[in-house]
Amino acid sequence: MMEEEEFELTEDLEAILHLTPEVQLAIEQVFPSQDPLDRTDFNAVEYINTLFPTEQSLANIDDVVNKIRLKIRRLDDNIRTVVRGQTNVGQDGRQVKEITRDIKQLDHAKRHLTTSITTLNHLHMLAGGVDSLEAMTRKRQYGEVANLLQGVVNVLEHFHKYMGIPQIRQLSERVKAAQSELGTQILADFEEAFPAQGSKRAGGPSNVLRDACLVANVLDPRIKQEIIKKFIRQHLSEYLVLFQENQDVAWLDKIDRRYAWIKRQLLDYEEKYGRMFPEEWCMTERIAVEFCHITKAELAKVMRTRAKEIEVKLLLFAIQRTTNFEGLLAKRFTGCTLTDTPESPLDPTNPFLEDDQTVLLLQPRKPKAPDNPFHGIISKCFEPHLYVYIESQDKNLGELIERFVADFRAQGPPKAGTEEGGAVLPSCADLFVYYKKCMVQCSQLSTGEPMIALTTIFQKFLREYAWKILSGNLPKSSSNTGVLTITSLLKEKEGYEASKFTVDELCLICSILSTAEYCLATTQQLEEKLKEKVDKVLTERINLTGEMDTFSTVISNSIQLLVQDLDAACDPALTAMSKMPWQSVEHVGDQSPYVTSIIMHIKQNVPIIRDNLASTRKYFTQFCIKFTNSFIPKFINHLFRCKPISMVGAEQLLLDTHSLKTVLLDLPSIGSQVLRKAPASYTKIVVKGMTRAEMILKVVMAPHEPPVVFVDNYIKLLADGNPETFQKILDMKGLKRSEQSSMLELFRQRLPTPPSGNDGGPSLSFSAPTPEQESSRIRKLEKLIKKRL
């Protein structure tokens, strides 16, 4: 029966057994076989053809069939053995499971037994410990109690879940009663040893009190706090009497005595009581901290009462001594007993604290301590009275500005040719050094509203410095007061200099410009440092943009003065140019006298300005650009006034224009032994402006017949659609009004038509005119210019 079931199971397995390629590959690796019957791609036809390749081989068919049947029987036997083996495995598993269940039961029994034994041991220890604890408490054997009490408390924790048992609950109540009795007893012992109204007991602490402190560590934390509170109060009781508000030593001028007293007290404590309290109680620091709290309250009270007597020197003296003491505490203690974080710890990484220690109110602290946890613990009480300090700084800065004004008048402006020439005025450095001192002082006093008030004072005197020292000492421009007369024109023509700034005045303007630049940069840094010092919630209220704009205005005005001066010096020459009879010029020669005069003024002024602005090169470049932007349009306007102009006169003007263009391109380095390429932005302005002047003259030189060619040539060279400009060109050529009317009408007609070669609207062209006659004249002029150069 069993064999039939096994055979049926085998048939079922054969019917449903389909292995995946991965499983098949794994089987082949574990049980390698060369038998074709074991191949997954077995083909019965091919296999039979292999067994019987020929007809003659069929004679052995019976033997082959018998071998296959024998192999099948062996496979069936193997399968049967495996199936029976699986049946036995199930039976063995059930037997093992029963054995495991028995082992688990034994483990539980063992664990419960162990727990019971441990609990009984703990109960025995707890009962004995409670008895011993009560006995030791009555005998004040605090040394033994300290060790025993902690053990009893630890053992009692194991019985927390057994509190429903009356005996356990009774032991717990006895432990609590013992703890309560110990607390009351220890407090009484300390009260007896250090009576509140009596004097301190002579000699050092007893071993009983030392052991009592160890017991207090295990008791309710309130016991420890009460011991600390009463001891510190008793230890500082003398201080409250000696420095009462009505005592002479309570005032700020004797504040040193307060700190000298606490130093003596701390030394006395260390000597007499240092070993009585556990080290982790930090009693020395606690005494010092409580002293600080009392001192802060007492100082605040006495300053409110005598506020009118507070002077800035006295206030700063008291603050200095106080912050020195706070720094001393930071060196001695860690601040672990402080409950509040300091509001404004010092920042020793600030660069303003790096050099001049004389401006510091605090002595240098430990370099490895980034913060002082004691900062402000006393000195915070001075903050409501810092208005005295702010008012004092307002007065001091006002006096400082007035001294700067008086010194400038007495010493006069910087002299040209000296080290002071063009240099930053020393008064501005003095101002910012004082600002630095004030900022450091105030940041150590407070980083709140007083810093905002000080910032307002800084802003006030930055503006005053800009007005009184810088703008107030700028020379008056000669172009604003001078009047152009025939006499001045004659003097200019005869070689006399026009009225302009002296060398010393130019030097002063450059010095003021350099000073304003220094003030601008330093004011920006000052704003950043103020924001670093002040509380974060107040940073938005610090804004020195207005003051920086004021210094920028001084810079702009200084540059404008330099430009106006050189401009005014060139005006007579330009006027002389427009007054010359250009129609009667008979031949082209060297550059005209007016050009020589302009170049002379440029060579006189520019090297002085460049040398005195050597430290502010960008502003010298601005001067060059502004002068060029002013001079070139003015030169072109005077060109339009030269009318009428003959052909030879136009050639002379073109030669003069080219000479001025060459000088202007070389303007930044003119007269300098070191040749430096002019900035590209400047060169572009000169080339564009002076090329327009050259194009104007080339148009004037061009024949106006035929009119269409002349108009197109004008549009191509100047790309100017303004009829007024075209009218000026016609005036320069000396055309009659009747001729000008037809020309203007033709100009308006031709203007919309894009010039030849222009693919995108009007643009400046540098190509020569197309007429043959004009080209010939231009070539002759170029040869003359090369010869002149």
157 and 286 share one domain: no
| Upstream peptide bond of 679 is cis (omega within 30 degrees of 0) | no
pLDDT at site 520? 94
Q: Which of the listed residues 299, 332, 365 is the one where a domain comes to its end? A: 332
pLDDT at site 521? 93
pLDDT at site 162? 62
Residue 472 vs residues 405, 475, 609, 689: alpha-carbon distances, Å: 10, 8, 20, 35
- Give the DSSP letter of residue 477: P
Number of Cβ within 10 Å of residue 531's Cβ equals 18
Distance CA 374, CA 376 (A): 6
691 lies in some domain:
no
128 and 239 share one domain: no
pLDDT at site 210? 72
**Close Cβ partners of 466 (under 8 Å, ≥ 6 residues apart):** 516, 519, 547, 550, 551, 553, 554
Comparing CA positions, the residue from 519, 521, 533 lying closest to residue 351 is 533
Query: Residue written as tokens 């029963």?
Result: 98
Distance CA 133, CA 125 (A): 12
pLDDT at site 715? 81
**Which segments of 137-218 are extended strands (E)?**
none
46 and 163 share one domain: yes
**Close Cβ partners of 536 (under 8 Å, ≥ 6 residues apart):** none
Dihedral (CA of 401, 404, 406, 412) sign: negative
444 lies in some domain:
yes
176 and 229 share one domain: no
391 and 283 share one domain: no
11 lies in some domain:
no
Supply the CATH number for residue 415's domain: 1.10.357.50
Comparing CA positions, the residue from 565, 427, 438 lying closest to residue 502 is 565
Based on C-alpha coordinates, what's the Rg of the chain?
54
Dihedral (CA of 456, 461, 462, 463) sign: positive
Distance CA 394, CA 162 (A): 76
Residue type, 240: L
Number of Cβ within 10 Å of residue 468's Cβ equals 16
138 and 252 share one domain: no
272 and 399 share one domain: no
320 and 411 share one domain: no
570 lies in some domain:
no
Tokens representing 615?
């430290």
pLDDT at site 487? 40
**Which segments of 190-230 are extended strands (E)?**
none
Do 139 and 211 meet the contact criterion of CB atoms below 8 Å apart? no
| Upstream peptide bond of 384 is cis (omega within 30 degrees of 0) | no
Task: Count Cβ atoms within 10 A of the Cβ of residue 125 and give its class: 0-12 exposed, 13-18 middle, 19 or more buried.
Answer: middle
Phi-psi region of 768 (alpha: psi -120 to 50; beta: other; left: phi over 0): beta
Residue 181 vs residues 139, 149, 188, 230: alpha-carbon distances, Å: 12, 13, 11, 19
307 and 427 share one domain: no
Query: What three-state secondary structure class fits 761?
Result: coil
Do 661 and 598 meet the contact criterion of CB atoms below 8 Å apart? no
Comparing CA positions, the residue from 612, 580, 617, 611 lying closest to residue 595 is 580
pLDDT at site 752? 56
**Close Cβ partners of 488 (under 8 Å, ≥ 6 residues apart):** 482, 498, 499, 572
Residues of the chain with pLDDT under 70: 1-19, 31, 40, 45, 55, 58, 86-94, 108-110, 112-113, 115-164, 167-168, 170-173, 175-183, 189, 195-206, 208, 214-218, 220, 339-371, 413, 415-422, 477-499, 752-789
Distance CA 613, CA 629 (A): 20
34 and 128 share one domain: yes
Distance CA 575, CA 608 (A): 25
486 lies in some domain:
no
Number of Cβ within 10 Å of residue 192's Cβ equals 10
Domain region containing 430: 379-476+500-555
Distance CA 726, CA 720 (A): 8
682 lies in some domain:
no
Residues 506-519 as b/e (b if ≥16 CB within 10 A, e otherwise) read bbbbbbbbbbbbbb
318 and 228 share one domain: yes
How many domains does the chain fold into? Answer: 4
663 lies in some domain:
no
**Close Cβ partners of 15 (under 8 Å, ≥ 6 residues apart):** none
571 lies in some domain:
no
320 and 448 share one domain: no
